[in-house]
Amino acid sequence: MKALLPPEFSQLEQLVPEWAIEDGHERYVKRVNSSMDQIQAFYDLVFPRAEE
């Protein structure tokens, strides 16, 4: 399977199918309809990478 992200972001690859949404309104709808557990899992993976 071809990687969707560059190698340095491979740890975030698992988020792509669920969170990589092109349309701004659809991203908003995804966030609003996500549980706090889903949002927390996203931030637990993404936040540590934010300073890189």
Is 2 part of any domain? no
Prediction pTM value: 0.74
Q: What is the pLDDT of residue 22?
A: 94
Q: What is the pLDDT of residue 4?
A: 85
DSSP string for 1-52: ---SS-GGGGGGGGGHHHH---SHHHHHHHHHHS-HHHHHHHHHHHGGGTT-
| Number of domains comprising the chain | 1
Range of the domain at 33: 7-49
Is 1 part of any domain? no
Please determine, for residue 1, whether its predicted confidence score (pLDDT) is greater than 70: no
Q: How far is CA 13 from the centre of its chain?
A: 8
